Amino acid sequence: MSRPYFPAQEGAPSPLRFTVERQVRFEEVDPLNIVWHGRYPSFFEDARVALSEKFGIGYLDCYERGILAPIKKMHVDYFRPLSFPERFTIEGILHWSEAARLNFEFIIRNKAHEVTTTGYTVQMMLDTEQNIMLIPPPFVRDFLDRWQKGEIR
C-alpha cells in the first residue's frame, strides 16, 4: 500500500497531530546496530497512546466504558535505519472517520528530520459484548463533534 494511507475526504476536518520523542535503546538494535524491524509497533504505540490520551479516547477512556479498540491492521514502510543511541521523533496523525474506528498514521523522523519510517494502524471499536460497533459510542461522538467544530486541534 502506498501513501496516502488514508486518502483525504472532502469536507472532513484536518487530521489531529501529536509528536513524541524517543531514543533508540541498546536492546532495540540488531547485530548491524540498526533497530530491528519488529520494534516499530512500540514506537507507533508511543505516539498513538499520547495522542489518544490527550483527546480522551485512550485505552483507559474506552476500558472504563466497557469498550475495546483493538488493532485490526498494522502496516510499516521502512526507508532508513535508526541506530543506537539515536534520538528520533514519532508523529501520530489521527485521520477523520465517522465510523467507530481510529485511523492512525505515523511518521518517524531522525535528528536530521529525514523520514525514516512510516506506517498506519486501524482500530475498530467493540462494545461490551465484543461486537463491532456500527457507530461511535457517545464519548467518541462528542470528541468527533468538537473536532469537526474546530474546538480541538
Q: Does 84 participate in binding its own copies (rule CB under 8 A)?
A: yes
The residue written with cell numbers 483527546 in the block is 55
Q: Does 127 participate in binding its own copies (rule CB under 8 A)?
A: no
Among 14, 54, 60, 142, binds its own copies (CB under 8 A): 60
The residue written with cell numbers 532495540 in the block is 28
Sequence letter at residue 146: R
Question: At closest approach, how far in Å is the CB of 97 from its own copies?
Answer: 18
Cell numbers standing for residue 150: 474546530
Among 6, 16, 18, 29, binds its own copies (CB under 8 A): 29
Pairing of strands 16-23, 101-110: unpaired
Question: At closest approach, how far in Å is the CB of 150 from its own copies?
Answer: 28
Beta-carbon neighbour count of residue 12 at 10 Å? 14
Among 3, 8, 25, 87, binds its own copies (CB under 8 A): 25
Is the Cβ–Cβ distance between 89 and 111 less than 8 Å? no
Q: Which is nearer to its own copies, 37 or 153 (CB)?
A: 37
Report the alpha-carbon distance of residue 52 to residue 16 in Å, rounded. Answer: 10
Which residues contact its own copies by CB under 8 A?
1, 25-27, 29-34, 36-38, 40-42, 45-46, 49, 53, 59-60, 68, 70-78, 81, 84-85, 121
